[in-house]
Structure 1
Amino acid sequence: MTAPRRMSWPEGVRLAFSWLSVLPVRGPEEVDRPGAARAITLAPLVGAALGVLAAGVAWTLTELGASTPLAALLTVGALAMGTRGMHLDGLADTADGLGSYGPPERARAIMKGGDVGPFGVAAIVFAVGAQAFAFATLIGEQCWLAVGLAVALGRVAVVLACHGIPAAAGTGFGALVAGTQSRLAGAAWALAALTAAVFAVPGLPWQGPMSALAALTAALLLVRHCARRFEGLSGDVLGAATEVAVAVAAIGFSLATP
């Protein structure tokens, strides 16, 4: 009996982009846990590409004469379209699940429902608003690296979240990726992000890394809390962690601008 073929790194890149972006990239027809692990390890590359998209959209809009608030809001909208809105959907589902009073099974059932409850709506409004206001400040100061890095940090959080936490019962994507990441992979991406953050806020080399660290910490605290509440990790929780990390990083970077 022949062993299953191991997914190559280029295939892992394609799978990561097919999962985490709207780009018409075809991944492998069948994906096992080792292949999923490779794709999640490469998720920050998708974050970097989306970060370039965000900074490019923001710069283009300002060059066309758009106000900084409008440019920021449209940038957040472009990110939502670039990811099929799945991270915002995950945030909404997670908020609805956390807002329920039932046992973990009931909370997971609420998250799987097709509708969005009041907690979910409030979470989306808050996340979009926080990111838009923070991006507006960064765009006004032309901190393009900070805009892009905030987006990339959301995907670094995904790598960290997929270490050491089992999947919640009845989750498809969660069962595929939960617990697949090594401590080394998470540490390497976190170090790379913290290093890049040194240059995110001109004149304040310490503020960027502190903001990046706060973003990753906030995302992991959310993941840990959700894992206790839902008895494991799910794709919705990963989406929520992504949006929280982006918002906290953008806010932290913007607080340090002149």
Structure 2
Amino acid sequence: MTPRADFLNNVVADLRIAASFVTIVPVGSSKPADNGAIARATWALPVAGLLVGLAGGASHALASRLGLAPGMAALLALATTALITGALHEDGLADTADGLGGGRTRERKLEIMRDSRIGSYGVCALILSFGLRWSALAAIGNPWAVMLAMCAAHAAARAGLPAFMSLVPPARRDGLAASAGSPPGRSVATAFAIGTLALALALGPAKALVGLVLLSLAGLILARLAIRQIGGQTGDILGAFEQIGEILILLVAAAFLQAGS
């Protein structure tokens, strides 16, 4: 096999690992995802996010074409992305809110986060997440602008995950965060570049910078909370990071891409 063919095979394998990591689509790589394979493949997370955003945007466009109101189209777009991801990130957000908000000790917080039951903090977090994202999409209104916003939000929200995983140690010795490993610098840089490009193309350079600043601040705050309260990050924390990033980018998009603005 030539070096070029081997490179392309590795790229495809990484894309399949990333897609199986953040969606329920059965596209897992035929190559074993061990020995740091998941960590190396994290560069492709924003690409997987881009595909999720495209699906959500297409659902919104179809609903709009059928004459549904912007609010209903926005709700269907969110339902589509939740279906494709298996509500994985929403589950992480809810567990994070319950754990960080409800436990008194590190051990109790981690125990709560592993509990499949949802508490009041988790319910409130989900209501805020869906409410803010729905409001942003409904405010944008225009199907093409919604498509751009969703692609940018889903790509950029996942683009920061490799850096977060690299900088914040796992809180447990087992679990998703520990088994995935720490992404190498090349994967971190590539994911960041893809996410930044998606933001710039969708929102323009100046607005993309606003989004990047907000994402960075949110990541720093969440990292500080996670380290202080449970000693690091978990799969649930990563899901919460994605949800917060998605919300922030959609709100930025709503501020600049509203129909008629």
| TM-score, normalization by structure 2 | 0.87
Q: 1:198, 1:207 within 8 Å by CA — same for their partners in 2?
A: yes
The residue number in structure 2 matching 1:113 is: 115
User: Any residues of structure 2 matched to 1:67-216 within 5 Å, and which?
Assistant: 67-140=69-142, 142-143=144-145, 144-182=147-185, 184-201=186-203, 205-216=205-216
Q: 1:215, 1:245 within 8 Å by CA — same for their partners in 2?
A: yes
- Say if 2:229 is the partner of 1:226: no
Over 3 Å counting, the alpha-carbon distance change for 1:226 and 1:89 in structure 2 is: same
Counterpart code for 2:167 = G
1:35, CA displacement in angstroms?
Answer: 0.8
Larger CA deviation: 145-154 vs 31-40: 31-40
Number of positions where the alignment pairs a residue of Structure 1 with one of Structure 2: 249
1:185, CA displacement in angstroms?
Answer: 3.2
The residue number in structure 1 matching 2:57 is: 55
Q: 1:194, 1:208 within 8 Å by CA — same for their partners in 2?
A: yes
Counterpart code for 2:229 = R
1:228, CA displacement in angstroms?
Answer: 2.5
Q: 1:96, 1:120 within 8 Å by CA — same for their partners in 2?
A: yes
Counterpart code for 2:223 = V
Q: 2:38, 2:181 within 8 Å by CA — same for their partners in 1?
A: no
Structure 2 stretches of 5 or more lacking a match? Answer: 1-8
**Match of residue 22, structure 2, among 15, 20, 26:** 20
1:155, CA displacement in angstroms?
Answer: 1.0
State the SS of the aligned residue for 2:102. coil
Q: 2:171, 2:230 within 8 Å by CA — same for their partners in 1?
A: yes
C-alpha root-mean-square deviation of aligned residues, in Å?
2.1
Distance of 2:54 and 2:159 partners within structure 1: 15
Distance of 1:254 and 1:74 partners within structure 2: 18
Distance of 2:246 and 2:239 partners within structure 1: 11
Over 3 Å counting, the alpha-carbon distance change for 1:112 and 1:177 in structure 2 is: same
1:220, CA displacement in angstroms?
Answer: 4.0
Distance of 1:29 and 1:189 partners within structure 2: 21
Structure 1 stretches of 5 or more lacking a match? Answer: 1-6
The residue number in structure 2 matching 1:4 is: none
Aligned-pair identity in percent equals 27
The residue number in structure 2 matching 1:255 is: 255
State the SS of the aligned residue for 1:13. helix
1:45, CA displacement in angstroms?
Answer: 1.2
Counterpart code for 1:35 = A
Distance of 1:30 and 1:196 partners within structure 2: 30
Distance of 2:247 and 2:137 partners within structure 1: 9
Which one has the bigger helix percentage?
2
Counterpart code for 1:175 = A
Distance of 1:30 and 1:192 partners within structure 2: 25
> 1:4-61 CA deviation, whole Å, 9 max, x = no partner?
xxx9332222121122112121334743241111222211110111111111111111
Distance of 2:67 and 2:17 partners within structure 1: 37
Distance of 2:177 and 2:50 partners within structure 1: 23
